Structure 1
Amino acid sequence: MRILGIDPGLRRTGFGVIEAHGMRLSYVASGTIVVPAGEPLAQRLKVILDNLREVVASTRPDVSALEKVFVNTNPTSTLLLGQARGAALCALADSELLVHEYTALQIKKAVVGNGHAAKEQVQKMVQHLLALDGLPAADSADALACAICHAHAGPLAQRLQRAGGTAAHRSRLRGGRLV
């Protein structure tokens, strides 16, 4: 299964593509879409949309994983982040990719084992899990971590869904994981 992970942002949107063969993970590609700051909002969102469409076309993922927006203390920042996330969702929907969503807490817990891990810990663990020669850039590492989170959580959610699960399991399944 080839997974595209996305860490949305209005200034910088990270993307990372991995392949999961059972529990074995391998790196495919990653990068950061840098959005020009001086442009009108609509043009900035279009940069995210167009670049993610190109990423999907060139890497041909089977599924995607996207980080959920958290509620920030600054409502304007939260709204802008939500719009960047919306542009990413549109690119994925336009590419007919199934989208799975995970919170930053879920992603960090799946990759580092601690939902409150520092960015540096995530970068180092992504480097280790994917056997990368160097430390990935912060935005790319977050996107790769999102893909890794889905590689770990997705198969369980799919098995439960295929099996129909019990009513208790179905009611406790949220965002690809049991809660």
Structure 2
Amino acid sequence: MVSQFKPTWMVTNIYDLTPKQLRENGVRAVLTDLDNTLIAWNNPDGTPELRHWLTLLELAGIRVIVVSNNSRARVDRAVAPFNLPYIHRALKPLSWGLRRALRRWHLRRDEVIMVGDQLLTDVWSAHHTGIRSVLVKPILKSDAWITKGNRVLEKVVMWRLRHDYPELTWQEDLNERKAH
């Protein structure tokens, strides 16, 4: 059961994913969570680092698509300055939102990754959609109230994952070593 929460990779920060690494792993599109993965949950304006990362991926022809459980208004407000496509109300941990993104942008499972900061939503939904996942550390140590309960359960799941899979460690990039 705990294997359903095991990420393909664990990378410290989404901005550490370079176009070169992504291409080497056959990635044409990055599906990403919004809050505490792409932007801080309490700062919808993003950072210069985010803008730079998005520009690098765009120049490399790698699409970035936000897949968020947030409302249309929240996601639209956050991604509008970056002109990013998105799926709102994705219903993660269900696979509905990820499957919808695959269909809408005509993507195959083997050419995308799902990046997120939560095992119980982002990684689980990627696993059940049949796509690779990248767990990143949350941008902020604090969370919106709705996420706090997940973090408690996540600590238990991570403890079990590390017990069952001792090779599961934080990496600097995708090429360092797969968690599988």
- The normalised TM-score by structure 2 is 0.33
Task: Compare the two structures and name the one with the higher strand fraction.
Answer: 1
Task: Compare the two structures and name the one with the higher helix fraction.
Answer: 1
Higher relative contact order (CA closer than 8 Å, sequence separation 6+): 2
Give the structure with higher Rg (CA).
1
